Structure 1
Amino acid sequence: MPWRPMTVADLPPVFTLACAIHVDFFEALEVMADKLAAYPAGCLTLETANGDISGYAVSHPYARGRVPTLNHPLGGLPADADIYYIHDIAIDTAARGQRHAEAVVELLAARARAAGFREMRLLSVNNSGTFWSRRGFGRVHDELVDVSSYGQDATYMRRFL
Structure 2
Amino acid sequence: MKHQWRPMVAADLPEVMAMAAVVHAGYFEEEQVFAERLALFAAGCWIAERTDGALPPQPVGYAVMHPARLGYPPSLNSLLHTLDDHADCLYLHDVALLADARGAGLGHALLAILREQMRHSGLTQAALVAVHSSRPYWEAAGFAVLQQMPAALSEKLASYDRQAVYMVMTSTDAIG
Q: TM-score, normalised by structure 2?
A: 0.88
How far, CA to CA, are the matches of 1:33 and 1:148 in structure 2?
25
- 2:126 is aligned with 1:126: no
Runs of 5+ consecutive residues of structure 1 not aligned to the other structure = none
Match of 1:150 among 151, 160, 168: 160
Kindly provide the CA deviation profile for residues 93-133 of structure 1, in whole angstroms up to 9, marking residues without a partner as x. Answer: 11111121121022111211221001101111110000000
Match of 2:24 among 1, 22, 27: 22
CA displacement at 1:151 relative to structure 2: 2.0
Kindly provide the CA deviation profile for residues 22-80 of structure 1, in whole angstroms up to 9, marking residues without a partner as x. Answer: 00111111111111111100000012222221111100000112011001111121121
Moved more, 2-11 or 42-51: 42-51
Partner residue in 1 for 2:74 = 68
- 2:79 is aligned with 1:51: no
1:159 partner SS: strand
Runs of 5+ consecutive residues of structure 2 not aligned to the other structure = 172-176
For residue 44 of structure 1, what is the amino acid of its counterpart? W
2:37 partner SS: helix
What is the CA RMSD across the aligned residues, in angstroms?
Answer: 1.1
How far, CA to CA, are the matches of 1:46 and 1:121 in structure 2?
21
Aligned residue pairs, count: 161
Match of 2:141 among 131, 135, 139: 135
Q: What fraction of aligned residue pairs are identical, expressed as a percent?
A: 35
Q: TM-score, normalised by structure 1?
A: 0.95
Q: State which structure, 1 or 2, has the greater radius of gyration over its C-alpha atoms.
A: 2
How far, CA to CA, are the matches of 1:111 and 1:64 in structure 2?
16
Partner residue in 1 for 2:15 = 13
Residues 27 and 70 of structure 1 are in contact (CA less than 8 Å); yes or no, is this contact kept in structure 2?
A: yes
How far, CA to CA, are the matches of 2:99 and 2:46 in structure 1?
18
Residues 67 and 147 of structure 1 are in contact (CA less than 8 Å); yes or no, is this contact kept in structure 2?
A: no
Moved more, 46-55 or 131-140: 46-55
- 2:169 is aligned with 1:159: yes
